[in-house]
Amino acid sequence: MNLNNNRRSFIRNASIGTVAAISIPQIVSAALAAAPKGKKVSIEKGDVILFQGDSITDSGRNKTNMAPNNAAALGNGYALMAAGELLLKHPDMDLKIFNKGISGNKVFQLADRWDADALDLKPNVLSIHIGVNDFWHTLTNGYKGTIDNYIADYKKLLDRTKAALPNVKLIICEPFAIMGVKAVDEKWYPTFDTFRKAAVDIAAEYNAPFVPYQAAFDKAITQAPPAYWTADGVHPSAAGAALMARTWLEAVKG
């Protein structure tokens, strides 16, 4: 995986219109083509599918609503969009889809609530998108965690999950950021790229599909300015959430 994404070049090309327009499916295909190759998760009849993560997954969900497949409980982001596509495509499969992301979470905070918000739901498919706050909060919130903490905490969480749910199908999503939009500046790099690389390595170690969000956004900003896809460089816009959902669906379908 090439971590030397030439973000300035992407932004410059997009701003001066030198890149020929390509479709979102082409953007997603290009991102997946550049990602590490691994097995894909098959969605099967009766699957319980769980989205876990931080605010990008949370996306304003109603945390008092515990019902599966409920629009309010799924939030207004990529989890809702991906769930909607799965439910539309498979009305006969009795899928039950949950979103338990919580804004601000880092890996150790997932662990603190993992029994109630993950293991007790007994998911067959577990998608995890975590890592932005594990770095970002070292810049803004005084968090002292390091890349080593991120890796160790993540592996401990996955080991715990596999011990409780040996047949769970894991999906590891890439933490991403878009340079030059409010919160994301030069101070993020190169350290943040080590968190992205860690997610790649963890997916490979646990034989899980990897969802290449950074590559998708890097391709997308050749078609529209970065602020079209995210409000602050971290949280996706409606278009950004749709791009995430499309990338997730393509990465996991069997």
Domain map (residue ranges) of the chain: 7-252
Cα(176)–Cα(187) distance, integer angstroms: 15
232 a catalytic residue: yes
7-252 CATH, one of 3.40.50.1110, 3.40.50.300, 3.30.70.330, 3.40.50.720: 3.40.50.1110
Q: Dump pLDDT digits (tens) for 75-129.
A: 999 999 999 999 999 999 999 999 999 999 999 999 999 999 999 999 999 999 9
120 a catalytic residue: no
- The average pLDDT across 7-24 equals 49
Tokens of 94: 């009795």
Cα(44)–Cα(121) distance, integer angstroms: 17
Judged against a pLDDT cut of 70, whether residue 2 lies above it is answered with no
Cα(249)–Cα(85) distance, integer angstroms: 8
- pLDDT at residue 203, rounded to an integer: 95
Catalytic residue among 59, 127, 129, 235: 235
The count of other CB atoms within 10 Å of the CB of residue 131 is 27
Catalytic residue among 54, 55, 129, 153: 55
Cα(204)–Cα(172) distance, integer angstroms: 9
Judged against a pLDDT cut of 90, whether residue 37 lies above it is answered with no
- pLDDT class of 21 with cuts at 50, 70, 90: low
Kindly report the average pLDDT of the chain as a whole number: 91
Per DSSP, the three-state class of 62 is: coil
The count of other CB atoms within 10 Å of the CB of residue 86 is 22
- pLDDT at residue 223, rounded to an integer: 92
Residues constituting the chain: 254
58 a catalytic residue: no
Catalytic residue among 117, 193, 201, 232: 232
Strand duo 96-99 + 125-129: pairing: unpaired
